[in-house]
Amino acid sequence: MELRLLVNRLEFLRAGEKTVVLEKLETVTDLHRVSNADLESWLSRRVKASWRAGELLRKVDTDRKFLDREGTWLLWGHETAFPEALRQISDPPWLLWGRGSWPEANRWAAMVGTRYPSEAAKHAAAVFAGQLAASGAVVVSGLAHGIDACSHAGALRTGTTVAVLGNGIDTISPVTNQRLAGRILATGGALVSEYGPGDEAFPWRFVARNRLISGLCRSVMVVQAPRKSGALITADFALDQGRDVVVHRSGLEGERGEGTRELARQGAPVIGRLAELEALWNGEMVPGTTEQGWLEGLA
């Protein structure tokens, strides 16, 4: 366990590369003798990195202590318990930190959107998430302000939700969502992250976590998103991963819906009812955007 945690802390390595390095090491102290030249030989690529073994060991000690907390767990990418949906994406995490309970459900759907939604979009997110959860699906989002928080809260009224964090598993960001995170844990849901205790909430980590939000799910709903929204990054990941991307018809209007409208123009189905999403899952015809005229007259 300690050696795997140590290799995981070599953050400049990709998931597959960590497996290669792990196979080359027998003990924790072996890392002291590893050079960039060794890594280049093992990985067949240029490596420009530096690390301090003592600092890494301190982080590993923190990791082990955090794992001793009740309700905290690790899922390693090579284990059978690791989510098969994540194993299939092009850049799977090497591990998943978790708090709470991993839901046992066959249907997972992500709901994402702007941190500053309209009142109509906030209401729509909560209602749709509640319908999804009531149907037995797990609602996945990123615990951010706005659409994420509304989606989690709506799901909690009727079922289960999972929040994917863009920072260390020990921290809730934003702090104003700490109570919401507590409710997720108290109702059988989970907080998950590929980042360990103490890892800060850097912007690039939130971008990277978006691939996990989409990767866990069959479908990604963008409820409302302006241009250059992080939710559109999640949609891009979803398309690359072969996931469905849909938009909610409540989030098409105004500047806050510019990104949502663009997804619709590109062919994302515009839906507003759970039955429409279920039709997509069942391979049935879903009303298209052009045929239904949802974009006509919108700014």
Residue spans per domain, the chain: 1-66, 108-292
Q: 235-264, pLDDT tens digit by residue?
A: 999 999 999 999 999 999 999 999 999 999
Instruction: Kindly state the average pLDDT of the residues 115-131.
Output: 98
Whole-angstrom distance, CA of residue 102 vs CA of residue 192: 9
If phi > 0 it is left, if psi is from -120 to 50 it is alpha, else beta; for residue 89 that is beta
Q: What is the pTM of this model?
A: 0.93
| Distances in whole angstroms, Cα of residue 74 to Cα of each of 2, 12, 102, 124, 169 | 13, 20, 11, 34, 11
- The pLDDT of 98-103, averaged and rounded, is 96
What's the CA gap between 15 and 19, in Å, rounded?
Answer: 7
The backbone region for 56, taken as left when phi is positive above 0, alpha when psi lies in -120 to 50, beta otherwise, is alpha
CATH assignment of 108-292, among 3.40.50.450, 3.30.1330.60, 3.30.1120.80, 3.40.50.2300: 3.40.50.450
Mean pLDDT for all residues in the chain? 93
When pLDDT is cut at 50, 70 and 90, the band that residue 291 belongs to is: very low
Give whole-number Cα distances, 70 to 1, 62, 84, 237, 295, in Å.
Answer: 18, 15, 25, 33, 50
CB–CB of 163/141 below 8 Å? Answer: yes
Q: How confident is the model at residue 297 (pLDDT cuts 50, 70, 90)?
A: low
